[in-house]
């Protein structure tokens, strides 16, 4: 089977969706699946150089993130018939319309990962953008309606998506989701990170590892940390992630105003051994996000055997709580403060117990190979709506 994945960008700075594509590309070969990726990155981008699968980087991306591209339209209409199936990653972008057109013309099935973009939180938070989406919905809806499946990473994401726009009739499939086990020596990775950031050596620290974006609750985390910092003088906070919207300067000013600037560290975007080293050397991972359809970084923490401190707006929170591998609270300042105080109030044995359960939780729930198996099954036959509904109810 040959599958084409389509995504706006494979840049690691874009967080979960490009990481999911890379992880799936690692999982496919063992199942007899050949994968290629179509993206709108410039072909000379350095993050494309180390990828082990064919990438068609077309470059042209007009009208900002919408990604209008006559070049992509021509490419996909010439090449769609080479593939047995197509998987779209993301919505509200021009490639969706182009792929639907080409797939229908070539009689090829396709599926769509919205990656959380149908969550009604965005409609409430950005009302002007919501008006633009309402205008675009007739085009976007056809893409979802005609897909073999709309793929959601949790039942919560699926259910929330159904409340955002009308009409909303599509075939929802909840897929297992996650990552692959990372390569490398854990001790060497931790040492590499600490060698690059020596001020953290010998310090306890909580790790935020995500884009610096208002939806992630960065401001809540800084304020909450400032409130609890006097009671834990040996603990620091690491705010790691790309600054795509110019938020870091404001957050750093906030840290100064709150009197914790010397205990908050800003290593920027981390990848490879440095990312895994930051996770392995951390005491816990923290993400008080206002909206996460899944949270790849949460699962990365589990595979690194680190407990997680998250808000109840990270949609996998029930599993985290049920498996005892982290703490959960509300996505408010008070909730984030409680989250940190609860963590620091734990005994060393309590923290170690959570850490000891983390990897087993990953193995049971978040293997990307299971995602690849489901996608293969989805495209191996032409299921009826009744059969597809049975798959989606798993």
Distant-in-sequence, close-in-space partners of 198: CB < 8 Å, separation ≥ 6: none
pLDDT tens, residue by residue, 285-322: 999 999 998 888 999 999 999 999 999 999 999 999 99
Q: Looking at the structure, do residues 33 and 156 belong to the same domain, yes or no?
A: yes
Tokens of residue 254, six digits: 């906030």
CA angle 385, 175, 163 (to 5 degrees): 70
For the chain, percent helix, then strand, then coil, each to nearest 5? 50, 15, 30
DSSP letter (8 states) at residue 182: P
pLDDT band at 40 (very low <50, low <70, confident <90, very high): very high
Q: Looking at the structure, do residues 329 and 381 belong to the same domain, yes or no?
A: no
Q: Looking at the structure, do residues 49 and 84 belong to the same domain, yes or no?
A: yes
CA pair distance 203, 200, nearest whole angstrom: 5
- The answer to whether 298 and 362 have CB atoms below 8 angstroms apart is no
274 or 386, greater pLDDT? 274
Q: Looking at the structure, do residues 206 and 330 belong to the same domain, yes or no?
A: yes
DSSP H or E stretch at residue 126: none
CA pair distance 51, 25, nearest whole angstrom: 9
- Write down the residue that tokens 């989406």 correspond to: 133
Q: Looking at the structure, do residues 90 and 227 belong to the same domain, yes or no?
A: no
Q: Looking at the structure, do residues 207 and 344 belong to the same domain, yes or no?
A: yes
pLDDT tens, residue by residue, 331-356: 999 999 999 999 999 999 999 999 99
Q: Looking at the structure, do residues 164 and 135 belong to the same domain, yes or no?
A: yes
Q: Looking at the structure, do residues 381 and 340 belong to the same domain, yes or no?
A: no
Using the predicted structure, report yes or no on whether residue 391 has a pLDDT greater than 60: no
Strands 326-329 and 110-113: what pairing? unpaired
The residue among 225, 177, 147 whose CA lies nearest residue 385 is 147
CA angle 201, 211, 25 (to 5 degrees): 100
CA pair distance 107, 97, nearest whole angstrom: 15
pLDDT tens, residue by residue, 87-109: 999 999 999 999 999 999 999 99
Using the predicted structure, report yes or no on whether residue 264 has a pLDDT greater than 60: yes
Q: Looking at the structure, do residues 338 and 327 belong to the same domain, yes or no?
A: yes
- φ/ψ of residue 39, rounded to 5: -140, 175
Using the predicted structure, report yes or no on whether residue 388 has a pLDDT greater than 50: no
CA pair distance 161, 172, nearest whole angstrom: 10
The residue among 290, 330, 277, 282 whose CA lies nearest residue 307 is 282
Sign of the CA dihedral 45, 191, 287, 240?
A: negative
Cis peptide before 167 (omega within 30 of 0): yes
Q: Could you give the number of structural domains in the chain?
A: 2
Beta strands in the chain (DSSP E): 2-7, 34-39, 55-57, 85-89, 110-113, 149-152, 172-174, 204-209, 235-240, 264-268, 284-287, 308-311, 326-329
Q: Looking at the structure, do residues 125 and 158 belong to the same domain, yes or no?
A: yes
DSSP H or E stretch at residue 82: none
The helix-helix angle for 186-196 and 272-281 (nearest 10°) equals 90
The helix-helix angle for 16-27 and 296-303 (nearest 10°) equals 50
CATH number at residue 79: 3.40.50.2000
Q: Looking at the structure, do residues 124 and 34 belong to the same domain, yes or no?
A: yes
pLDDT band at 381 (very low <50, low <70, confident <90, very high): low
pLDDT tens, residue by residue, 189-214: 999 999 999 999 999 999 999 999 99
List the domain range (segments joined by +) for residue 207: 186-365
Distant-in-sequence, close-in-space partners of 301: CB < 8 Å, separation ≥ 6: 207, 209, 279, 284, 285, 307, 308, 358
Q: Looking at the structure, do residues 337 and 376 belong to the same domain, yes or no?
A: no
Strands 204-209 and 172-174: what pairing? unpaired
Average per-residue pLDDT for the chain: 91
pLDDT tens, residue by residue, 124-166: 888 888 898 898 899 999 999 999 999 998 888 999 999 999 9
| pLDDT recorded at residue 126 | 83
CA pair distance 220, 200, nearest whole angstrom: 22
Residues of the chain with pLDDT > 70, as a percent, come to 96
pLDDT band at 72 (very low <50, low <70, confident <90, very high): very high
């Amino acid at each position: 089977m040959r599958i084409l994945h389509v995504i706006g960008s494979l840049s690691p700075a874009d967080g979960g969706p490009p990481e999911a594509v890379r992880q799936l590309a690692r999982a496919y070969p063992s199942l007899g699946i050949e994968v290629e990726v179509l993206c709108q990155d410039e072909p000379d981008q350095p993050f494309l150089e180390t990828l082990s699968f064919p990438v068609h980087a077309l470059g042209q991306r007009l009208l900002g993130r919408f990604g209008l591209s006559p070049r992509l339209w021509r490419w996909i209409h010439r090449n769609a018939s080479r593939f047995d199936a197509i998987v779209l990653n993301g919505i509200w972008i021009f490639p969706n319309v182009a792929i639907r057109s080409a797939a229908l013309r070539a009689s090829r099935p396709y599926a769509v990962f919205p990656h959380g973009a149908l969550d009604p939180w965005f409609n409430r938070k950005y009302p002007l953008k919501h008006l633009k989406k309402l205008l675009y919905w007739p085009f976007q809806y056809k893409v979802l309606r005609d897909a073999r499946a709309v793929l959601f990473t949790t039942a919560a994401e699926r259910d929330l998506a159904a409340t955002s726009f009308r009409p909303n009739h599509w075939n929802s499939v909840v897929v297992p989701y996650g990552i692959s086990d990372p390569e490398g020596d854990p001790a060497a990775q931790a040492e590499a990170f600490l060698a690059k950031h020596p001020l953290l050596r010998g310090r306890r620290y909580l790790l935020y590892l995500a884009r610096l974006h208002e939806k992630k609750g960065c401001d809540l985390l800084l304020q909450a940390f400032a409130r609890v910092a006097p009671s834990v003088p040996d603990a620091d906070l690491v705010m790691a992630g790309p600054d795509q919207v110019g938020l870091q300067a404001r957050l750093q000013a906030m840290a100064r105003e709150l009197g914790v600037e010397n205990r908050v560290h800003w290593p920027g975007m981390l990848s490879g051994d440095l990312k895994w080293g930051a996770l392995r050397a951390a005491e816990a991972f923290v993400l008080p996000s206002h909206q996460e359809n899944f949270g790849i970084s949460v699962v990365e923490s589990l595979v690194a055997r680190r407990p997680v401190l998250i808000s109840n707006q990270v949609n996998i929170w029930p599993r985290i709580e049920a498996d005892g591998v982290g703490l959960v609270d509300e996505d408010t300042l008070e909730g984030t403060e409680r989250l940190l105080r609860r963590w620091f109030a734990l005994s060393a044995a309590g923290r170690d117990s959570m850490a000891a359960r983390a990897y087993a939780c990953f193995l049971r729930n978040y293997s990307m190979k299971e995602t690849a198996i489901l996608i293969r099954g989805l495209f191996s036959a032409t299921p009826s709506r009744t059969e597809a509904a049975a798959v989606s109810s798993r």
